Structure 1
Amino acid sequence: MTRISNPSRMQAAAAAFARRAPRAAALAAGLALAGCAHMGSSNPDVVYVNGKIITADKDFSIAQGVAIKDGRFVAVGSSEAMRQLATPATRVVDLGGRTVVPGLMDSHTHMDGAGTVETSAQVIKARTVAEAQAIIGDFIRDKKVPAGQWVQTSRWHPPSQLKEQRYLTRQEIDAVAPDHPVFVQTVGHFAMANSKALAAAGIGRGTPDPVGGKIHRDAAGEPTGVLESTAIGIVEKIVPPPTFEQGVAQNIAAQRVYNRSGITSTVVAGLSEEQIRTYFTVAERGQATVRAGMFWRIPTGSAEEFEKTLKAAKFKENQGNDWARVAGIKLIADGGMTLKSAFIRSTYANEPQNHGRVAVDPASYQRNVQLANRYGWRVHTHAVGDAAVDLTLKAYAAADQDRSIRGRRFSVVHGSLIAPDQIAQAGKMDVRVDAQNAFLWDKAGTVERYMGPLLANRAVPTRQLVDALGIGGTAAGTDNEVNLLNPFVGMYLMVTRKDPRGKVYGADQKVSREEALRLYTNAGPYLTFEESAKGAITPGRFADMVVLSADYLSVPEEQIKDIVATQTIVGGRVVYDARLL
């Protein structure tokens, strides 16, 4: 196999992670070395030959072929060597010179949403208020939704998506849905509801704002239909949930959508116990095609309520199998950059009193982190702003005094505006930071408008994260359906830091192509303690890989974003083939 020398920064990053997790680094190194040799194998089920196999192993080796048996790679090397392993019963696939990479892992998604295309109004396509109205009205008419039945939408981001750069009012939704309660979801922290939905939830002029939330009102004091943070739950809790079997079907459909993008693994951030059961059911029925780590989302509340929930938990930390695994608890500390609710040390542009919003009572949050740790759960906290990261790291430090969190892989989720001193602190505490460059694709302009150029250019500091925490201490993700799922747009963003307009944000935070690919392959499995099982094409690991439309390593930089998956293989099985569409 050909080997590509690692850039000096990659060596520094690897060394940084080795210092933080010597046992994990030693294990990974040993496995990577094993991947350079053939494992003793007879009768492989299939061999792939005549390709450019980017193994993403320790040495970033390039091979020509692989052999697979029982869902795992059993050999990696030259085409001739793979052919020699084949028997009359072995299927031989000629890749025709195409490039192959390990199965891609998105380390932070809300995957189930991808399965709702047929059951929700797809306002994600709207570019004006009028278009959003038309989509909702057309959905009701085309689906023949009976009067009085709830209507829901896809998640979207009106401030950055619509020409008007604002949310819809209840009156605008009423205009196209006068006979239906309508709940309009967004990417998070905000939602909209029409008059019938507000009335069904008992929200009126005299309804007080809940703790940690806001019912937006007009000049006359009447609800506008816009709900923020915990106020969303007032309506959300009365929206009829899908049946369990509908949830199963939605989950299966979502996994197939992810396969089309080359995604073979993900971490799904924030599921109820019923939704977790859905993932296990899909796996038990043999219908899973994406390996999923799952964060359990516990509603925030008092320490007493939180502990009661922990005691009654239906699942345990790390419970699961190769297809579905519980991977900790998700808590939320603040909102988002594009929602003016990320909790920041400084203030928002032209709003000298606005530091964003804390989504939790700090004392209760710290106590809940300690309780989760005490009951054996690791914690992943949504913290976008640097002030929210301060809150998170303080709570983790307190929990560490009670029971060590080192080696447990607690994480800061998003950390979009994390500061250099906080990255250093996270490294000392052995805390991960899982950021998503995808926020810079179609929302960078909104971030700059709300927060100013200084914070916009500091957002998602990938270079600093890799250098300080190593590839194993951070990962690539999208927060889909909040952002575009496409992993090659994600890699393009990491390599160029360009948004669709060609504007560069944070040029000093660029990483190499190799590092970007490692963040989508090697890095994510550390989040679920599966770094020895997947993330590279080496003998013994799951046979998860993706055949590409172009060579990721040699195409011009501007064409990285245009690469697509032409075939996705999970556990040795083809789960997506563009030629069959």
Structure 2
Amino acid sequence: MNPLPGAAEPLVLRNASIITFDETRPRASAIALQGGKITAIGSDAEVPPIPGVRELDLKGACVIPGFNDTHAHMEREGLKHQRPSLAEARSVADIIEVIRNLAASTPPGQWIVTMPAGRPPFFFDGVASLAEKRLPNRYAIDKAAPDHPVYIPGVFGNWGKPPGHSALNSRALALNGIDANSEPRLSGLEIEKDARGEPTGIIVERNNRPTVEFDLLPAVPRFGFAERIEGVRLSQRLYNAKGTTSIYEGHGSAAETISVYRKLWELGELTVRTGLVVSPSWSDLAEARRIMRDWLATARGAGLGDPWLRVSGIHVAYGGDPEVAHCARAHLPDTGWSGFVEQAVTPADFREASFLAAEFDLRLHTIVGDKLHEIVPVLEAVDARFPLRPRRWVIEHIGRARQSDIEALARLGVLVTTIPTYYLWKGGEKYLDDPDGGDLVVPHRRLLNAGIPLAIATDNIPYDPFFTLWVTCAREERTSGRVIGIDQQLGVEEALRLFTVNGARLTFDESWKGPLKPGFAADLAVLSDDPTALPVAEIRNLRCGLTIVGGRIVHDDMLTPGARR
């Protein structure tokens, strides 16, 4: 184990409303922490004072196990804060003023790269948030920053929705070799040109995950290793501040991303327990076999690691655009905002890769969307030769499902993670007219009734677990407020269990992490209110006042004198 700097301070928390998720004692009011573990829990009378140990009176505050975000993309959040924001800009003039100020403080010749137009975290409004409904063109930006290349990127589609609008000035266009004769190689991109056929500096992207930088903008600065290290450092503080104590990156992590976490682990700087999955970069099945056989032994089975960092299994995509994958891979180790390697896998190759993964005892993770019915037959065929139940394969991002496929997952012993915000709130519009009212869209109740091990996650859209908790319980589509699949709504305590203790199975850690019970990890969050006692609509307004990981306080917004309450 690579512990956090400084010993965990022994603590006793009293006068609390503790939701334990321990069936032998579901509720408690006091908990003792020592040596990174829970040593006692019960009523205030049942947890006696410990000589020399500090006691904290929580004044009735609610304590829960820390959130385990099982599709977190934590490597991404901190990077957003490394680029200047345009969130307050409401006109072209506002953006020009931001660029002018940046130019005044940036050495001549250096790049100026901002965040997209629009309001975070979703950027749904994009250029529509501006009075002119457009970005400034190259000539307007030239006047504000004549000595700098400038790039205003379009939105990353996983946060908001396409199209994304990028803007570059003349220096930036020249450095990227974009002129009147330039045309994108990839579909979904458009270089806007004026009546003379000259680029205006505006590029429109209609792809969900942006390809513009990989295709057209090789000169734009990338996030390097140092930036990614600092990004995760900040991400951890942000996730800790929401009560998140563990993450699992089932979508897979590129080698560069794994290296970032490994470095922070080596430095003893992890404050979020991290489970990673390999995002492979093989180009064909022959290479896949060699890599699985010769290079991924450390990711087999439960993988290798300790309570702070573990790597196990691989992510293999189902589908994808071959041209996009080829273009993106040419820029490795840079992965843009994604953090994983773009893949394009045909159904036939997915089937073969699944058999190879089973042969070499590598847990398979795949995102299914609305195509679970195409994946299940592959899993059943693999199971006939290599029983899947003990291997804990993972199906992610379930959109629309069929009852027969849900029952098949239960028979196979496959684990499931869902992204409620992605399919119900953010992208639920396409399911509003389903004949069954959306009963089979992200069907949490059906999955639980089938006995499937289930966990929910944020997908970093946004990273706030309270928002995802609200979506899971309310299931409201964002543009209409209509409920998708009313019978699939979960109670708050049910949803909270999926978001805290259930994720431990994904990292084979359920014997020591999750419920608040003696001998288990001292990973917990102190909330502003008891979510189980609130109206569902108020859940998204919850705050976390205190987060403890391994017995160490990693976020304090309630105990330190002067801290905001």
TM range (shorter): 0.7 to 0.9
Instruction: Find the residue that maps to 2:463 and give its secondary structure.
Output: coil
CA gap 1:226/1:148 in 2 versus in 1, 3 angstroms? farther
1:151 corresponds to: 113
1:326 aligns with 2:296: no
Amino acid at match of 2:252: G
Instruction: Find the residue that maps to 2:526 and give its secondary structure.
Output: strand
- CA drift of 1:427 comes to 1.6
1:572 corresponds to: 551
1:370 corresponds to: 355
d(CA) in 2 for partners of 1:280 and 1:58?
35
Q: Which has the higher helix share?
A: 1
Structure 1 range deviating more: 255-264 or 55-64 = 55-64
1:546 aligns with 2:525: yes
d(CA) in 2 for partners of 1:132 and 1:187?
24
Kindly, what percent of the aligned residue pairs are identical?
A: 25
Cα pair 1:569 1:576 within 8 Å, conserved:
yes
- CA drift of 1:305 comes to 3.6
CA gap 1:381/1:56 in 2 versus in 1, 3 angstroms? same
1:81 corresponds to: 46
d(CA) in 1 for partners of 2:255 and 2:539?
38
Amino acid at match of 1:319: L
d(CA) in 2 for partners of 1:433 and 1:236?
37
Alignment counterpart, residue 263 of structure 2, candidates 264, 271, 281: 281
d(CA) in 2 for partners of 1:144 and 1:63?
55
Alignment counterpart, residue 95 of structure 1, candidates 40, 44, 58: 58
1:248 corresponds to: 229
Alignment counterpart, residue 484 of structure 1, candidates 455, 462, 465: 462
1:40 corresponds to: none
1:354 corresponds to: none
Structure 1 range deviating more: 571-580 or 65-74 = 571-580
- CA drift of 1:564 comes to 0.9
1:407 corresponds to: 390
1:382 corresponds to: 367
Q: Structure 1 stretches of 5 or more lacking a match?
A: 1-42, 337-357
**TM-score when scaled to structure 1?**
0.75
Cα pair 1:495 1:512 within 8 Å, conserved:
yes
d(CA) in 1 for partners of 2:318 and 2:42?
47
Write out aligned runs for 1:44-193 (5 A): 45-59=10-24, 61-84=26-49, 86-87=50-51, 89-122=52-85, 125=87, 137=99, 140-141=102-103, 144=106, 146-147=108-109, 149=111, 151=113, 153=115, 160-162=124-126, 164=128, 174=138, 179-181=149-151, 183-188=153-158
- CA drift of 1:383 comes to 1.9
- CA drift of 1:375 comes to 2.7
Amino acid at match of 2:21: A
1:436 aligns with 2:419: yes
Structure 1 range deviating more: 418-427 or 390-399 = 390-399
Instruction: Find the residue that maps to 2:316 and give its secondary structure.
Output: strand
d(CA) in 2 for partners of 1:294 and 1:537?
24
d(CA) in 2 for partners of 1:369 and 1:201?
42
d(CA) in 1 for partners of 2:539 and 2:511?
28
1:6 corresponds to: none
The superposition leaves residues 432-451 of structure 1 with CA deviations (integer Å, 9 ceiling, x where unpaired) of 2211112267525xx31x55
1:537 aligns with 2:520: no
CA gap 1:363/1:139 in 2 versus in 1, 3 angstroms? farther
Instruction: Find the residue that maps to 1:274 and give its secondary structure.
Output: helix
Instruction: Find the residue that maps to 2:39 and give its secondary structure.
Output: strand
2:338 corresponds to: none
CA gap 1:237/1:75 in 2 versus in 1, 3 angstroms? farther
Amino acid at match of 1:74: T
Instruction: Find the residue that maps to 1:537 and give its secondary structure.
Output: coil
Amino acid at match of 2:397: H
Amino acid at match of 2:413: D
Instruction: Find the residue that maps to 1:370 and give its secondary structure.
Output: helix
- CA drift of 1:513 comes to 1.8
d(CA) in 2 for partners of 1:136 and 1:396?
52
Alignment counterpart, residue 496 of structure 2, candidates 493, 517, 535: 517
Cα pair 1:294 1:326 within 8 Å, conserved:
yes
CA gap 1:240/1:477 in 2 versus in 1, 3 angstroms? same
2:401 corresponds to: 418
Instruction: Find the residue that maps to 1:261 and give its secondary structure.
Output: coil
Amino acid at match of 1:511: L
d(CA) in 1 for partners of 2:138 and 2:235?
30
Instruction: Find the residue that maps to 1:184 and give its secondary structure.
Output: coil
d(CA) in 2 for partners of 1:204 and 1:364?
40
- CA drift of 1:97 comes to 1.6
RMSD across aligned positions (CA): 3.9
Q: Structure 2 stretches of 5 or more lacking a match?
A: 1-7, 143-148, 322-342
d(CA) in 1 for partners of 2:354 and 2:173?
34
d(CA) in 2 for partners of 1:300 and 1:545?
39
Write out aligned runs for 1:446-485 (5 A): 447-448=428-429, 450=430, 452-454=432-434, 457-458=438-439, 459-470=441-452, 473-480=453-460, 483-485=461-463
The superposition leaves residues 390-417 of structure 1 with CA deviations (integer Å, 9 ceiling, x where unpaired) of 3333433344345332221212211122
- CA drift of 1:426 comes to 1.7
Alignment counterpart, residue 471 of structure 2, candidates 493, 496, 500: 493
The superposition leaves residues 474-493 of structure 1 with CA deviations (integer Å, 9 ceiling, x where unpaired) of 1111100xx12222222222
- CA drift of 1:171 comes to 7.6
Cα pair 1:171 1:194 within 8 Å, conserved:
yes
Amino acid at match of 1:537: L
1:360 corresponds to: 345
Cα pair 2:127 2:133 within 8 Å, conserved:
no
CA gap 1:285/1:476 in 2 versus in 1, 3 angstroms? same
Cα pair 2:113 2:150 within 8 Å, conserved:
yes
d(CA) in 2 for partners of 1:44 and 1:148?
46
Cα pair 2:184 2:215 within 8 Å, conserved:
no
The superposition leaves residues 24-73 of structure 1 with CA deviations (integer Å, 9 ceiling, x where unpaired) of xxxxxxxxxxxxxxxxxxx9922111111110112561111111111000
d(CA) in 2 for partners of 1:320 and 1:237?
36
The superposition leaves residues 285-321 of structure 1 with CA deviations (integer Å, 9 ceiling, x where unpaired) of 2211111111222246321343344434595342211
Cα pair 2:424 2:484 within 8 Å, conserved:
no
Structure 1 range deviating more: 113-122 or 514-523 = 113-122
d(CA) in 2 for partners of 1:135 and 1:305?
51
CA gap 1:192/1:65 in 2 versus in 1, 3 angstroms? same
Structure 1 range deviating more: 105-114 or 233-242 = 233-242
- CA drift of 1:128 comes to 7.5
Instruction: Find the residue that maps to 1:105 and give its secondary structure.
Output: strand
d(CA) in 2 for partners of 1:67 and 1:389?
44
Structure 1 range deviating more: 143-152 or 299-308 = 143-152
Instruction: Find the residue that maps to 1:264 and give its secondary structure.
Output: strand
- CA drift of 1:202 comes to 7.8
CA gap 1:93/1:231 in 2 versus in 1, 3 angstroms? closer
Amino acid at match of 2:379: Y
Cα pair 1:157 1:187 within 8 Å, conserved:
no
- CA drift of 1:521 comes to 1.3
- CA drift of 1:418 comes to 2.4
Structure 1 range deviating more: 176-185 or 366-375 = 176-185
Cα pair 2:244 2:272 within 8 Å, conserved:
yes
d(CA) in 2 for partners of 1:375 and 1:567?
42
